[in-house]
Chain A
Amino acid sequence: MKEIVIVSGKGGTGKTSITASFAYLGNKDVIVADCDVDAADMHLLLKPDFGNPKDFYSGLLAKIDQEKCIKCGKCAAVCRFDAIPIINGKFIVEPLNCEGCGYCPLVCPTDAIEMNEQNVGRLFVSNIKTESKMVHASLKIGADNSGKLVAEVKNKAKEIAENEEKKFILVDGSPGIGCPVVSSLSGASFVVLVTEPSVSGIHDLRRVYQVIKKFGIKAGCIINKADVNKNKSKEIHNFLEEEKIEFIAEIHYDENFTKAMTYGKTIVEYDNGEIKKILEDSWEKIKELTTNL
């Protein structure tokens, strides 16, 4: 079983549309894991049934029992996150600032503080429009996305893939280079970078690739909207050569990507022309590249 992670550094390069297409092409061989739990969009294309919902708990939140509190202020003094302001003469925990470190209850002389687990979201194992499944989540607004929910989504996908003897797990990662991205990369067999030929696209590609390099994972790259700036596309090709990243494909700018999305379809279901062919070839190439890993 091969775990293929799709990342981009920059948002909006077409990661999710392309991942969904591969899921569609790979059909029953592929389990999908939507690890962009902050702004998960894959469900709009793969139409999951939001099956088996499970609450997910992660991180702790301090709560002060005002009955027991003697207002000594020791909790506020040790808190490095300014999470215990005094409001109307009471020490109150500001949930958005509380890091859940658990230092304050350790210094409270009257045991007035308890740490409670936080429900940060829900996890689903869904049937989708292909003959396979998708693991996805919805993160509560403002919840701490430390990468734990991402890890949970991935582990669940792995478990199903093993039980059902699937060949691939396709992981849609989030933008950036922080905790969620690191969490989606850990344990990957291969990374597909989806980029675009713009100053931002290239800047972010370089940064996220530095992270991938630290993990020592092999990578390939798809240049989306390649015709928007041919010089920048060339710059990307040079970078790929320099770093020995496999070039997978170039896709030209096409509004069919958006149109497919408005019909809730993957681009390979909607487009019967060149783009479909490119993505089919790309998927074959990825399968080939991951065969001997």
Chain B
Amino acid sequence: MKIAIASGKGGTGKTTLSTNLSSFLSETESIILVDLDVEEPNSGLFINGNLVYQEDKFKMIPEWINNQCQLCGNCQKVCNFNAVMKLGKRIMVFPELCHGCYACSELCPTNSLPMKPKRMGELKHFKLGNLDFIESKLIIGEEQAVPLIKQTLEYVDKQFPKDNIIRIYDSPPGTSCPVIEATKDADLVLLITEPTPFGLHDLKLAVDTMKKLNKNFGIVINRYGIGDDKVLSYCKDNNIPIIAKILNDRKIADLYSNGKLLYKEIPEVKKQLEKVRDYILKYQTEKMK
């Protein structure tokens, strides 16, 4: 079962929920935590596992070979991203614009643009007790998160071919392509928000996104107690389940800022995680029926 933790707005507690929930659940069963916020992955700051595997991740981009090229310009013509250009007697490739579609390469009459791997990020796999933690990090200067998210999920699928272990995906913020890539295979999405006007506004966007993807989802409210009660009334009016509430607490902010897990020191947080666990179990049982 795959559970994505997403939010719309950044900084609402995706990583807090992902790491605490994964660690808590792994006390009694095997869990896989995957950090898919490849632009700014933070789960690793809270999970100190042993590194068991590491690999570079590559995207394929064309590389121009001069000797047979007739400079016909077909490559430039077929590229929709302006990533290949004929400039004088040269073909220039702009790797950061390339989406890796292979059109220029495969449609070149002289095979002058073979596809070559270019490093875009790094995947690491850690183990800590029952917890497998996988994170990918985009290298600085690479702009496209989606190909790395995709390859990270492929790695997880390959390592754990049977879908019998709970997987938790720490997703990127926003509502555009990286979030879609990170959540589209999830069975259940937990949206974490905070009870403020910004939180509510972005929660609505996240809800619309999940509806569009036909996802089952529930809400976790973080920093409960600040702001107003409009998130509560929104959820009530729209029949969206509120699974748990994590209080606004200076001690939480303090533990978080130091990279520590919360539930081990704050019983109230553990109680909320139990609610999330029960919700997941209930969902799992219903799904099996």
Q: Interface size bucket, B side?
A: 35 or more
Q: Which residues of A contact B177 (CB under 8 A)?
A: 142-145
Beta-carbon contact of A175 and B11 below 8 Å: yes
Beta-carbon contact of B40 and A142 below 8 Å: no
Q: Which residues of A contact B9 (CB under 8 A)?
A: 11-12, 39, 41
A106-B107, A228-B257 known; A13+B100 contact, CB < 8 A: no
What mask results when residues 185 to 209 of chain A are scored 1 for a CB within 8 Å of chain B, else 0?
0000000000011111101100110
Beta-carbon contact of B40 and A204 below 8 Å: yes
When chains A and B are docked, how far (Å) is the Cα of A54 from the Cα of B256?
42
Q: Which residues of A contact B176 (CB under 8 A)?
A: 38, 139, 142-145
Q: Specify which of A102, A141, A177 is in contact with B40 (CB 8 Å cutoff).
A: A177
Beta-carbon contact of B227 and A258 below 8 Å: yes
Beta-carbon contact of B39 and A177 below 8 Å: yes
Q: A2 to nearest B CB, angstroms? A: 25
Q: Which residues of A contact B197 (CB under 8 A)?
A: 41, 44, 261-262, 264
A144-B177, A178-B178, A210-B140 known; A101+B99 contact, CB < 8 A: yes
Interface residues of B in 255-281 (CB under 8 A from A): 256-259
* Contact residues of B: prevailing secondary structure: loop
A199-B257, A232-B257 known; A262+B42 contact, CB < 8 A: no
When chains A and B are docked, how far (Å) is the Cα of A102 from the Cα of B174?
26
Q: A156 to nearest B CB, angstroms? A: 20
Beta-carbon contact of A38 and B196 below 8 Å: no
Beta-carbon contact of A38 and B40 below 8 Å: no
Which of B25-33, B208-216, B232-240 is near enough to bind chain A?
B208-216
When chains A and B are docked, how far (Å) is the Cα of A200 from the Cα of B15?
9
When chains A and B are docked, how far (Å) is the Cα of A232 from the Cα of B254?
11
Beta-carbon contact of B42 and A214 below 8 Å: no
Q: B252 to nearest A CB, angstroms? A: 10
Beta-carbon contact of A175 and B226 below 8 Å: no
What mask results when residues 167 to 206 of chain B are scored 1 for a CB within 8 Å of chain A, else 0?
0000011111111100010000000000011100110010
Q: Specify which of A100, A207, A262 is in contact with B228 (CB 8 Å cutoff).
A: A262
Q: Specify which of A12, A141, A232, A264 is in contact with B208 (CB 8 Å cutoff).
A: A141
Q: Which residues of B contact A228 (CB under 8 A)?
A: 250, 253-254, 257
Q: B192 to nearest A CB, angstroms? A: 11
Q: A115 to nearest B CB, angstroms? A: 8
Q: Specify which of B11, B143, B256 is in contact with A179 (CB 8 Å cutoff).
A: B143
**Is A220 located at the chain interface by the 8 A CB criterion?**
no
Which residue of B is nearest A149, CB measured?
A: B176
Beta-carbon contact of B202 and A41 below 8 Å: yes
Which residue of B is nearest A43, CB measured?
A: B201
Most buried by B among A10, A41, A142: A142
What mask results when residues 232 to 266 of chain A are scored 1 for a CB within 8 Å of chain B, else 0?
10000000000000000000010100100110100
Beta-carbon contact of A12 and B10 below 8 Å: yes
Beta-carbon contact of B80 and A11 below 8 Å: no
When chains A and B are docked, how far (Å) is the Cα of A39 from the Cα of B9?
6
**Is A80 located at the chain interface by the 8 A CB criterion?**
yes
B residues within 8 Å of A by Cβ? 8-12, 15, 37, 39-40, 42, 45-46, 78, 80-81, 99-103, 106-107, 138, 140-145, 172-180, 184, 196-198, 201-202, 205, 208-209, 212-213, 226-228, 250, 253-254, 256-259
- Contact sample, A vs B, 22 pairs, CB 8 Å cutoff: A10-B40, A12-B9, A39-B10, A41-B198, A44-B197, A99-B101, A101-B81, A102-B101, A103-B78, A103-B107, A143-B176, A143-B177, A145-B174, A175-B10, A176-B145, A178-B138, A179-B144, A208-B40, A229-B254, A232-B257, A253-B253, A258-B196
Instruction: Name the 9 nearest CB pairs between A and B, nearest first.
Output: A11-B10, A12-B11, A101-B101, A38-B174, A145-B176, A198-B257, A176-B39, A11-B11, A199-B259
Q: A44-B201, A175-B40 are in contact. List 18 more A-B contacts (CB 8 A).
A: A9-B40, A10-B11, A38-B173, A41-B9, A100-B80, A142-B175, A142-B177, A143-B176, A175-B10, A175-B11, A175-B173, A178-B144, A198-B256, A198-B259, A203-B40, A204-B40, A228-B250, A262-B228
